[in-house]
Amino acid sequence: MTRVLVTGASGFVGKPLCRDLVRAGFRVSAATRNPRRVDDLHGVEVRPVAGLGAGTDWSGALRGVDMVVHLAARVHVMKDESDDPLAAFRRVNAQGTAKLAVDAAAGVRRLVMLSTIKVNGEKTEERGFTGADAVAPEDPYAKSKFEAERALFGVAGASDLQAVVIRPPLVYGPEVRGDFLSLLGLCRKAPPLPLASIRNGRSLIYVENLVSAILACLKTPAAAGGIYVVRDGEDLSTPELIRRLSAAMGRPDRLWPCPPALLRAAGAMTGRAATVARLLDSLRVDDRQIRQELDWAPPHTVDQGVAATAEWYVERFRADPEES
């Protein structure tokens, strides 16, 4: 029976991935700094590691492992308090991944790494990004993830290790954090929002769809060496996403029209240009490669993912309004 080691197993993607790997018949090990955070993962063996960096010793965690799914990372944050954010991201994401890849090459067959669509860039025009497009990472997080990809493929090119990279767009679902959690709170409060005139398109992926894509990258021989982008299958504008989230929570959406140029000007004057750009710009992906090469399709629709996320948020708010 194939043994899979999951790094970042206690995280937003890691927990549902571990559960689905167990259901699919894999032997699953979780590499984690805090074993108590994976106590609820039944059937998963815990393998403690000190952290993720250039000095991490992976020999114990990798013992008897056939495949690795590498989710652990220093994640993108809006207000990074590090004195040198790029150096901090590089230590964990680039150097840490490189060390994992080197240690894994001694006996692991395949390593699937979760990257980010931000490696390709921050926005698209007419067509969506593909895994074959030129890269244009802008912020420290995206740069470090691209460096991690290069390090992984460098090790794979000099060994028998098979490398696979997945670059997802925004991932959402129960237990989501960050900007999407803030958006859920906004939809619950239902204030008037000047967003009705936005005509962009953004690709998203429901966490269970992403887990399905990861499983396809583990199971399918043709995935070796691939760089795949993934999405739910339906791109949404900012106002359409708000409408669907609001409807799923039984809340009204109070959207009113305002020229996008005026919104950009307001963002520039208030120091929130990047936030406004994410509301206005398009960021689409073209996922035909993974669908054709791996015969993969997302098992859940956008509406199913939105409904599950909204249901989780409503229950969370009822249980602890302050936390939401």
Say if 305 falls within a structural domain: no
Say if 298 falls within a structural domain: no
Q: What is the CATH number of the domain that holds 124?
A: 3.40.50.720
Which domain does 86 fall in, by range?
3-167
**Which residues form the catalytic set?**
141
Residue 34 confidence (pLDDT): 82
180-185 contacts at long range (C-beta below 8 A, 24 or more positions apart): 180/309, 181/313, 181/324, 183/241, 183/242, 183/245, 184/245, 184/249, 184/309, 184/310, 184/313, 184/324, 185/324
The count of structural domains within the chain is: 1
Say if 145 falls within a structural domain: yes
Say if 18 falls within a structural domain: yes
pLDDT per residue of the chain (324 residues) written in tens, 0 to 9: 899 999 999 999 999 999 999 999 999 999 988 878 888 888 899 998 988 899 999 999 999 999 999 999 988 665 566 678 899 999 999 999 999 999 999 999 999 999 999 999 999 988 999 999 999 999 999 999 999 999 999 999 999 999 999 999 999 999 999 999 999 999 999 999 999 999 999 999 999 999 999 999 999 999 999 999 999 999 999 999 999 999 999 999 999 999 999 999 999 999 999 889 999 999 999 999 999 999 999 999 999 999 999 999 999 877 777 766
Say if 178 falls within a structural domain: no
Say if 172 falls within a structural domain: no
| Half-sphere exposure of residue 105: CA atoms within 13 angstroms, side-chain side | 18
